[in-house]
Amino acid sequence: MNILETLQKIAATTERLDRALTEIDCGRAERQRFEDATTARMERLEAQLSEMRERLARLETARDADRSQMAAELARFKAEVERAELRLARMLPAQSEPPALSESEEGKSRRDG
């Protein structure tokens, strides 16, 4: 092997190394772009997840408030029903007895009878 062939081999090897290093640099750049895109997506997903958690907490709070309000309204309704039942119970025995005659009506019935 002469010096010219050796130099050609060295040049070819250097060229291949240069191409390999360029590919590695491209691979690094590509990997960095992929990592950046992945990081951005993860940050967006984390923000969306945080927003969804906040919305869920607000919905649960609203649901609990609605339940409390409905329970209070139901309690008021039950109290109204009980009062109405008591009024009705007081009215029914009074209506089952014949109405009391006033003095003027008593006099008429005695004269008619």
| Span 3-46, pLDDT tens digits | 878 888 888 888 888 888 888 877 777 878 888 899 999 999 99
Per-residue pLDDT, 97: 58
Q: For 16-53, give one letter per residue: b (16+ CB within 10 A) or e.
A: eeeeeeeeeeeeeeeeeeeeeeeeeeeeeeeeeeeeee
Q: What is the pLDDT of residue 112?
A: 58
pLDDT at 79 over 90: yes
State the average pLDDT over residues 68-79: 97
Residues 6+ apart with CB under 8 A from 101: 109
pLDDT on residue 65: 97
**Single pTM value for the model:** 0.49
